[in-house]
């Protein structure tokens, strides 16, 4: 039996593991990763090293620059209003299923050029695929993920063919053109990249919105501060990312024998960078277990660091800022229950649901006055 992987928990150690040249994302270099898993992950951007990582990331990075995302902000606001308009009269919602899931998945579908009407299909598939990123993923988890990948493939391949014949102004058309260029994107890379964008394009943001709103509701002083000072929203989102990090950990593999925080790490040994722990390092964030939306939390590592820093971070930030601004504006907003259920996956901190209630008459009046 292989020993459990080592961990990097301090902010400094996590930065070393994520940024250092002595560390790789390539699962083929890991002594503890099964060959089958390594092969399955080899064409996924998250597990590539340069130069392949640089090449594939470069093809999609222009769609996720801060300037590109700012152009999407009006559409994000429009979708937010479309989702909340029928809910305001009800006086209650499940934040996850009614709002935090459909908002980012619709945005990423529109960006890619995938019909948003199919978003419920993606919800089940992405859950099945996300399970294999856990350290204790079972053969059953890998089986479900393989089935989900086949379903995704059967869905996407005809869409790629359609875009080859009739390209549109979307990211899939651009990626298909890159595949046809031959040396820029291989067929398996095209497929796994689009799958990854569909999964990662909503998973982190959904959890950021859910976790963030829950944290604010559990800290009513911070919720009220944000309501009275909406200009704090950008800083608040950074603090919420730090406080309850949606992606808790990411793996790296030592390229050579090295020393990390007094631990001797052998070449090929896997180390888990504990992002949430790093974000609660008191040497970087004083009183780390306190939620303080006035804090400068920009040194957090919720989106990773280094070459694999989350490509979609600007989009996640924009979506969370718009979404949380609309949610905290709901009058008399409160939790329906203090007991919350979390999805059974260690790598992600993700709510199953988040039931809240508010004053529907006041909400409708505020919306009507705009």
Q: What span, in angstroms and rounded, lies between the C-alpha atoms of 328 and 110?
A: 26
Q: What span, in angstroms and rounded, lies between the C-alpha atoms of 295 and 239?
A: 7
Going by C-alpha positions, the residue among 350, 210, 217 that lies closest to residue 276 is 350
> Is the C-alpha dihedral spanning 93, 96, 100, 104 positive or negative?
negative
Torsion of CA 368, 211, 44, 268, to 10 degrees: 160
Strands 334-335 and 355-357, sheet pairing: antiparallel
What is the crossing angle of helices 52-61 and 171-180, to 10°? 140
Q: Degrees (nearest 5) of the Cα angle 109, 27, 12?
A: 85
Q: How much is the pLDDT for 33?
A: 52
Q: How much is the pLDDT for 40?
A: 52
Contact, 177 vs 291, CB < 8 A?
A: no
Using a 10 angstrom Cβ sphere, with 0-12 exposed, 13-18 middle and 19 or more buried, the burial of residue 220 is exposed
Is residue 86 within a helix (H) or strand (E), and if so which, with residue range? Answer: helix 66-88
Indicate the pTM of the whole model: 0.91
Q: What span, in angstroms and rounded, lies between the C-alpha atoms of 323 and 301?
A: 22
* Strand ranges in the chain using DSSP code E only, listed in sequence order: 6-8, 23-24, 92-94, 249-254, 258-260, 263-265, 270-274, 334-335, 355-357
Contact, 297 vs 235, CB < 8 A?
A: yes
Q: What span, in angstroms and rounded, lies between the C-alpha atoms of 211 and 216?
A: 9
Q: How much is the pLDDT for 36?
A: 46
Q: How much is the pLDDT for 367?
A: 73
Place of tokens 């508010």: 358
CATH top-level class for 6-369? mainly alpha
Strands 270-274 and 249-254, sheet pairing: antiparallel
Q: What span, in angstroms and rounded, lies between the C-alpha atoms of 144 and 132?
A: 9
Q: What span, in angstroms and rounded, lies between the C-alpha atoms of 168 and 174?
A: 8
Place of tokens 């180390």: 271
Contact, 299 vs 243, CB < 8 A?
A: no
Going by C-alpha positions, the residue among 251, 269, 306 that lies closest to residue 20 is 306
- Cα 57 to Cα 51, 109, 167, 312, 347: the distances in Å are 10, 19, 21, 11, 23
Contact, 341 vs 353, CB < 8 A?
A: yes
Q: How much is the pLDDT for 29?
A: 60
Is residue 348 within a helix (H) or strand (E), and if so which, with residue range? Answer: none
Q: How much is the pLDDT for 229?
A: 97
Q: What span, in angstroms and rounded, lies between the C-alpha atoms of 282 and 285?
A: 5
Tens digit of pLDDT at every position of the chain (370 positions): 456 779 999 999 999 999 999 999 887 666 555 544 555 555 678 878 888 888 889 888 888 888 889 999 999 999 999 999 999 989 999 999 999 999 999 999 999 998 878 877 877 788 788 776 766 677 787 788 888 889 989 999 999 999 999 999 999 999 998 887 766 788 888 898 998 898 888 889 999 999 999 999 999 999 999 999 999 999 999 999 999 999 999 999 999 999 998 889 999 999 999 999 999 999 999 999 999 999 999 999 999 999 999 999 999 999 999 999 999 999 999 999 989 999 988 899 999 999 999 998 887 777 776 6
Half-sphere exposure of 137 (CA within 13 A, CB side): 20
């Amino acid at each position: 039996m292989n020993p459990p992987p080592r961990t990097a928990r301090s902010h400094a150690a996590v930065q070393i593991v994520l940024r250092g040249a002595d560390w790789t994302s390539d699962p083929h270099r890991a002594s503890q990763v099964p060959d089958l898993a390594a092969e399955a992950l080899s064409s996924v951007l998250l597990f590539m090293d340069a130069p392949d990582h640089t090449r594939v990331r470069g093809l999609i990075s222009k769609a996720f620059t801060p300037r590109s995302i700012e152009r999407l902000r009006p559409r994000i606001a429009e979708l937010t209003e479309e989702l909340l308009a029928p809910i305001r009269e009800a006086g209650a919602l499940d934040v996850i299923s009614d709002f935090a899931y459909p908002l980012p998945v619709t945005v990423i579908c529109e960006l890619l050029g995938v019909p948003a009407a199919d978003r419920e299909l993606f919800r089940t598939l992405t859950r099945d695929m996300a399970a294999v990123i856990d350290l204790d993923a079972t053969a059953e988890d890998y089986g479900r993920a393989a089935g989900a990948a086949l379903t995704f493939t059967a869905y996407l391949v005809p869409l790629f063919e359609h875009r080859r014949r009739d390209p549109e102004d979307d990211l899939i058309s651009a990626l298909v053109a890159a595949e046809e260029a031959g040396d820029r994107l291989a067929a398996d890379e095209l497929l796994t990249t689009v799958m990854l964008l569909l999964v990662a394009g909503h998973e982190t943001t959904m959890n950021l919105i859910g976790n963030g709103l829950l944290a604010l509701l559990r800290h009513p002083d911070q919720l009220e501060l944000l309501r009275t000072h909406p200009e704090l929203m950008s800083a608040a989102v950074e603090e919420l990312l730090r406080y309850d990090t949606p992606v808790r950990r990411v793996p790296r593999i030592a390229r050579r024998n090295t020393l990390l925080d007094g631990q001797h790490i052998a070449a090929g040994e896997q180390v888990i960078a504990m992002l949430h722990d790093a974000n609660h390092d008191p040497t970087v964030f004083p009183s780390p277990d306190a939620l303080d939306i006035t804090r400068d939390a920009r040194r957090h590592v919720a989106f990773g660091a280094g070459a694999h820093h989350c490509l979609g971070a600007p989009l996640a930030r924009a979506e969370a800022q718009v979404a949380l601004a609309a949610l905290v504006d709901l009058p008399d907003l409160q939790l329906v229950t203090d007991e919350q259920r979390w999805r059974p996956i260690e790598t992600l901190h993700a709510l199953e649901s988040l039931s809240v209630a508010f004053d529907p008459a006041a909400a409708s009046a505020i919306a009507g006055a705009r």
